[in-house]
């Protein structure tokens, strides 16, 4: 017996040690996940999306990273505004389910589902940069986040500490894109447990307006002519009475513009407040005949002035993008030097798209593609083929389920998004995959951008939008309340309800609203049926907003 124990004991110890080593190795091999998101970085400002700006090579480092993985051509936001987009990403839920309709919405720690689920899977979790969901990001193990929008220069950050949120503040010096990356690199080098996989959300402030770039980029593109969209000067048949008014009566107030067109908010106003005799002449001309303005807008002097504003606008924006691109290279270089790159899943996106002068619009909020399309790509050589691309439709509620499943988990039942892990790994869109996405912008005529509230459906071939043009409260009720921070306050400006339909196969730039075209009536009817079904299945109806539902019912068959 003693001889037997002498033989078997060492074998048992060896087997136990081997099992532990294999278990440790298994944990070590679990992929790290880094989710990088910039603010308002739109697909037009990439090389990989082939826009008019691609020839400028604005994102060489991001393009390289994207080409080492899978690029998504049909990634869409549910609501093209910062807080609702971020809420959808962190919860995997739509607006009426997670409760965030506008910029004042907040996500409490118990509803910060993505880091909670990642922790269950053995991940240490961290978030650095822009947060903007108001409550403390306490579900993360580590956080260093900007207060609200934060500052471009010498930003302050809120951190976990002895004082209660939000009173623990650290101050930094420099540009936000650099400082946010400094903090991320410090976390990776010094703050994390190297024995555990990490899930890191790195959020740039840039290139959110007003596009304050680091001084080292002052000469970048200085002598370059930036290609301009044709729709900056030509309206065509884009839009509807909801966005243009009857006989173009709303063109001077709806949709913040590059040119002087919008008298309430325009980029010319931001840059050259008193520099133009034209602006001085027309800035208070609210009663100018819209038709006369359209003639004036096409005047060579106004075109020259608009082009000057546009060039300045885009150069500032692209210099912010350049700072993001260069800082991503810093991260990739670190991961490669430390031997972490190949076992780290890297996702990159913007929190929504952005209008870069298309249809003479700035900002986002619209359901037009430049605003609702998100750049999105994923790199993970072990499972994702390099130089792969997909046109499968995904939206930002799908991000959390996908990251959870890539980490080895299962999508929770309470999430409305769907994992596209299979698409990443096979390049094949499943037979039952979604063929459309739903969009909803709630903040009617808010923040002087003057975008009417609307919702709609987007498939690979078509887009249908309904502008309901009413507030979400009964404004005839003296006791009615509304969110004055995020919603317009001028009750007189109930814009007219209207539909827009675009055939994206023939009209990808959305220049021709074909809603009244007889040849599309069957397609439009089908899209309306799909829209009803989606609103029901996603808990996105207006049953709690009867005044909106009344408008919908009255104008559904217009």
The predicted pLDDT at position 279 comes to 47
Residue 188: Cβ within 10 Å count: 23
Q: What is the pLDDT of residue 22?
A: 41
Please give the full DSSP string across 181-231, using - where no structure is assigned. Answer: HHHHHHIIIIIS-TTS-EEEEEE--TT-TT----GGGTTTTTT-PPP--GG
Structure tokens, 321 = 């993008």
Burial (0-12, 13-18, 19+ Cβ within 10 Å), 40: buried
Provide the whole-model pTM: 0.90
How many angstroms separate the Cα of 235 from the Cα of each of 238, 248, 454?
6, 11, 20
Task: Measure Cα distances from 307 to 225, 260, 520 in Å.
Answer: 10, 11, 36
Token code pair at residue 351:
């929190």
Provide long-range contacts, Cβ within 8 A and 24+ apart, for 460-463.
460/74, 460/391, 460/393, 460/435, 460/504, 461/503, 461/504, 461/505, 462/501, 462/502, 462/503, 462/504, 462/523, 462/527, 463/367, 463/369, 463/500, 463/501, 463/502, 463/504, 463/510
* Closest C-alpha among 415, 420, 449 to residue 432: 420
Measure the CA–CA gap between 206 and 411, rounded to whole angstroms. 31
Domains of the chain in start order, with CATH, are 230-309 (no CATH), 437-555 (3.30.1120.10)
> What does the pLDDT look like over 305-330, one tens digit per residue?
899 999 999 999 999 999 999 999 99
Contacts of residue 477, Cβ cutoff 8 Å, sequence gap at least 6: none
DSSP-assigned states of every residue in 490-532 = -TT--PPPEEEEEETTT-TT--B--TT-GGGHHHHHHHHHHHH
Tens of each residue's pLDDT in the chain, 558 residues: 444 444 444 444 444 444 444 444 444 489 999 999 999 999 999 999 999 999 999 999 999 999 999 999 999 999 999 999 999 999 999 999 999 999 999 999 999 999 999 999 999 999 999 999 999 999 999 999 999 999 999 999 999 998 999 999 999 999 999 999 999 999 999 999 999 999 999 999 999 998 999 999 999 999 999 999 999 999 899 999 999 999 998 998 899 999 988 888 898 776 654 444 444 544 444 344 555 555 444 467 778 889 999 999 999 999 999 999 999 999 999 999 999 999 999 999 999 999 999 999 999 999 999 999 999 999 999 999 999 999 999 999 999 999 999 999 999 999 999 999 999 999 999 999 999 999 999 998 888 788 999 999 999 999 999 999 865 555 555 555 555 556 554 544 578 999 999 999 999 999 999 999 999 999 999 999 999 999 999 999 999 888 889 999 999 999
Question: Residue 286, exposed/middle/buried by CB under 10 A (0-12, 13-18, 19+)?
Answer: exposed
Max Cα distance, the chain (Å): 107
Cα 511 from chain centre? 23
Q: Which residue has the tokens 């900007």?
A: 146
């Amino acid at each position: 017996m003693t001889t037997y124990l002498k033989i078997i004991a060492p074998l048992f110890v060896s087997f136990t040690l081997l099992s532990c080593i294999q278990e440790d190795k298994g944990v070590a091999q679990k992929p790290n996940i880094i989710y990088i998101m910039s603010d308002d970085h739109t697909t037009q400002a990439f090389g990989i999306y082939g826009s008019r700006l691609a020839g400028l090579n604005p994102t060489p480092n991001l393009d390289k990273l994207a080409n080492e993985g899978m690029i998504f051509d049909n990634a869409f936001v549910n609501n093209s505004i910062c807080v609702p987009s971020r809420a959808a990403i962190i919860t995997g839920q739509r607006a009426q389910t997670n409760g965030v309709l506008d910029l004042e919405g907040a996500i409490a720690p118990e509803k910060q589902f993505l880091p909670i689920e990642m922790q269950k899977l053995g991940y240490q979790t961290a978030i650095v940069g822009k947060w903007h969901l108001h409550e403390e990001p306490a579900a993360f193990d580590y956080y260093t986040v900007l207060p609200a929008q934060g500052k471009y220069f010498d930003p302050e950050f809120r951190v976990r500490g002895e004082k209660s949120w939000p009173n623990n503040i650290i101050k930094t010096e420099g540009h936000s894109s650099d400082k946010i990356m400094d903090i991320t690199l410090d976390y990776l080098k010094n703050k994390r447990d190297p024995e555990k996989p990490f899930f890191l959300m790195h959020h740039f402030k840039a290139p959110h307006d007003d596009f304050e770039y680091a001084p080292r980029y002052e000469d970048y593109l200085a002598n370059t002519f930036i290609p301009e969209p044709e729709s900056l000067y030509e309206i065509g048949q884009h839009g509807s009475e909801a966005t243009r008014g009857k006989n173009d009566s709303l063109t001077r107030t709806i949709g913040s513009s590059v040119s002087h067109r919008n008298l309430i908010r325009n980029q010319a106003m931001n840059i050259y407040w008193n520099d133009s005799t034209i602006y001085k002449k027309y800035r208070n001309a609210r009663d100018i005949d819209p038709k006369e303005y359209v003639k004036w807008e096409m005047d060579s002097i106004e075109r020259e002035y608009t082009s000057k504003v546009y060039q300045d606008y885009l150069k500032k924006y692209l210099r912010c993008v350049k700072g993001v691109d260069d800082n991503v290279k810093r991260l990739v270089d670190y991961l490669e030097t430390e031997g972490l790159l190949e076992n780290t899943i890297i996702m990159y996106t913007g929190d929504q798209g952005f209008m870069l002068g298309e249809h003479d619009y700035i900002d986002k909020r619209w359901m037009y593609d430049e605003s609702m399309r998100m750049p999105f790509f994923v790199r993970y050589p072990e499972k994702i083929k390099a130089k792969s691309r997909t046109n499968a439709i995904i939206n930002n509620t799908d991000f959390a389920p996908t990251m959870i499943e890539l980490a080895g988990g299962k999508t929770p039942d309470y999430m409305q998004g769907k994992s596209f892990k299979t698409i990443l790994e096979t390049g094949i869109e499943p037979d039952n995959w979604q063929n459309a996405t739903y969009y909803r912008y709630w903040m009617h005529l808010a923040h002087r951008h003057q975008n009417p509230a609307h919702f709609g459906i987007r498939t690979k071939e078509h887009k249908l939008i309904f502008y309901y043009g009413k507030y979400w409260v009964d404004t005839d009720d003296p006791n009615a309340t509304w969110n004055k921070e995020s919603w317009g306050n001028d009750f007189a400006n109930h814009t007219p309800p209207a539909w827009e339909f675009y055939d994206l196969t023939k009209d990808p730039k959305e220049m021709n609203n074909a809603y009244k075209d007889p040849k599309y009536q069957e397609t439009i009817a089908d899209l309306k049926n799909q829209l009803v079904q989606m609103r029901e299945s996603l808990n996105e109806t207006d049953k709690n907003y009867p005044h909106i539902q009344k408008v919908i019912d009255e104008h559904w068959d217009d």
